[in-house]
Amino acid sequence: MHTINTHSLHSSWISGAVAKIEADYLRSADTHLIPLKLPLFPDIDFYFKDESTHPSGSLKHRLARSLFLYALCNGWIQEGTTIVEASSGSTAVSEAYFARLLGLPFFAVMPKSTSQDKIQAIEFYFGKCHFVNHPADVYEVSRKLAAASDGHFMDQFTYAERATDWRGNNNIAESIFRQMQREVHPVPAWIVTGAGTGGTSATLGRFVRYERYESRICVVDPENSVFYEYWKNNDVSLCSEHGSRIEGIGRPRVEPSFIRTIVDHMIRVPDAGSFAAMHILSKLLHRKVGGSTGTNFWGALQLAENMKSLGQSGSIVTLICDSGERYQDTYYNDSWLEEKGLLASVGREMTDLSVLTGSPGKTV
């Protein structure tokens, strides 16, 4: 005769952990959708979903919450499980936040170029940082570290697209469309996002199709990323020698979470353009934004110019992925730009963008 286990298969620790994350969610507010009007584009309304205001400082707060819930409900995390993640920084900060909430040890495996501010944030949440020389090594090192500690490799680049509830549950797409309801053009002509994991573009694209909105999804891609080429030619074997200089976006390999058939259009953005747009947007919004937000704005402006030339009106929604505070020593530091050989080209891009946006140039 078989004995029937009358105890619940899932531990009370797991149910307590899920409850803690749900309580954290209940304490959180939605992020703002900030409008921007530019004099040269009277028929186009720009909007920025400000993801920098999450408790852990970036859009990765949403992802980390989803990844923890997914892993908990799959039974992959138990009391005391060491969590390991491969990250260019932001995800590690957000996961360290949730690991601390649940009392779990956390290791971040990151490229050595990761900004000091993010490292400090991870350590603030009791996370430990492990650095690799080549960005493409983060996966293997994470896997080994997890195996050695009998821990769990969270693997955002694989699970980002499936851990998020894409039909709703106040995901980023649902929130944007709800906040747009009373606007002149409530259904955006374009939604612009970068891709790191590809999770955000996947959620936006699926939601738009599920709700049968006419909005199109544009992914902006920085230098040294393979996503653009992959989107064009569907070659999954692509590899890039160097890592992206725009933290959070652009990958040296095709990530499993990047769903290319969801993306309607892609724009390649030069790094100097991203940094210039970051500076200009920070002036226009009177708040410092991160590098990938600059990439978003550069792409949004290109789409706006195209709409204008076709005589179209409408709205363009994009994201403030994180705040510029994280990049004071790098993107906002002229010696850093000079060291990377970018100072002159950023200056030229800023002159062009100043004309386009009617904003004063950088004052140094």
Ligand X SMILES: *Cc1c(COP(=O)(O)O)cnc(C)c1O
Q: Kindly list the residues in this chain that would bind ligand X in the complex (CB under 6 A).
A: 58-60, 90, 160, 194-200, 248-249, 290, 292, 321-322
State which residue has the least CB distance to ligand X: 248
Amino acid at 163: A
Please, which residues have CB within 8 angstroms of residue 324's CB and are 6 or more apart in sequence?
Answer: 278, 282, 287, 288, 289, 290, 331, 332
Smallest distance from ligand X to CB 71, Å: 17
Q: Which one, 63 or 77, has the nearer CB to ligand X?
A: 63
- CB 47 to ligand X: min, Å: 17
Q: Nearer to ligand X by C-beta: 114 or 197?
A: 197
Neighbouring C-beta atoms of residue 237, cutoff 10 Å: 8
Q: Which amino acid is at 353?
A: L
Nearer to ligand X, 160 or 208 (CB): 160
Nearer to ligand X, 81 or 115 (CB): 115
Q: Whats the size of the chain, residue-wise?
A: 364
Q: Residues of 283-318 as b/e, b for ≥16 C-beta within 10 angstroms? A: bbbebbbbbbbbbbbbbbbbbbeebeeeeeebbbbb
- Count Cβ atoms below 10 Å from residue 21 Cβ, excluding itself: 18
CB atoms within 10 A of CB 330: 21
**CA separation for the pair 200, 217 (Å, rounded):** 11
∠220-98-109 over CA atoms, to 5°?
Answer: 60
Minimum separation from the CB atom of position 277 to ligand X (A): 14
Q: Report the residue number, 56 or 81, with the smaller CB distance to ligand X.
A: 56
Nearer to ligand X, 110 or 353 (CB): 110
Among 264, 262, 281, CA closest to 273: 281
Question: Phi and psi dihedrals of 163, rounded to 5?
Answer: -80, -20
Q: How far is the CB of 1 from ligand X (least distance, A)?
A: 51
Minimum CB separation from ligand X for residue 161, in Å? 9
- Distance in Å, CB of 218 to ligand X, minimum: 13
CB of 196 to ligand X, least distance (A): 3
Nearer to ligand X, 183 or 259 (CB): 259
Spacing of C-alpha 263 from chain mean position: 16
Residue 36, strand partner residues = 46
- The answer to whether residues 43 and 313 touch, using CB atoms and an 8 Å cutoff, is yes
82 vs 91, beta carbon nearer ligand X: 91
CB of 201 to ligand X, least distance (A): 6
Residue nearer to ligand X on the CB measure, 14 or 71: 71
Q: Give me the least distance between CB of 52 and ligand X, in Å please.
A: 9
Pairing type for strands 106-111 and 83-86 reads: parallel
